[in-house]
Amino acid sequence: MAMTITCAAMGYDCGYGVTGRDMDQILSGIKHHSLEFHGYSEEELNSPDVIERWKGEIRQSARPDAIRTPRDESDRDVKPH
């Protein structure tokens, strides 16, 4: 079963999403993105509170695993925010 997390679900005005087959894959994807686009520090990325919050936003997905942008129609020129 694939799982998905999106920035929109976390309250960001951002079309990024990660779909993966397991939690580790998703967390590593969202960590990398949060570091680059949302100004997270390494400390925050490894904070249990932050990781728990992400885990709480992960949803089961019927889609096969792939990295995709849910709103890719409007996110062709994604801004670093």
Residues paired with 20 in a beta bridge: 3
Residues 10-39 that bind Zn ion (CB under 5 A): 12, 14, 16, 37
Q: Which span (8-16, 19-27, 47-55, 65-73) binds Zn ion, by CB under 5 A?
A: 8-16
- The smaller minimum CB distance to Zn ion, of residues 37 and 51, is found at 37
- The smaller minimum CB distance to Zn ion, of residues 5 and 14, is found at 14
Nearest to 21 by CA among 45, 1, 40, 37: 1
Which residues contact Zn ion (rule: CB under 5 A)? 7, 12, 14, 16, 37
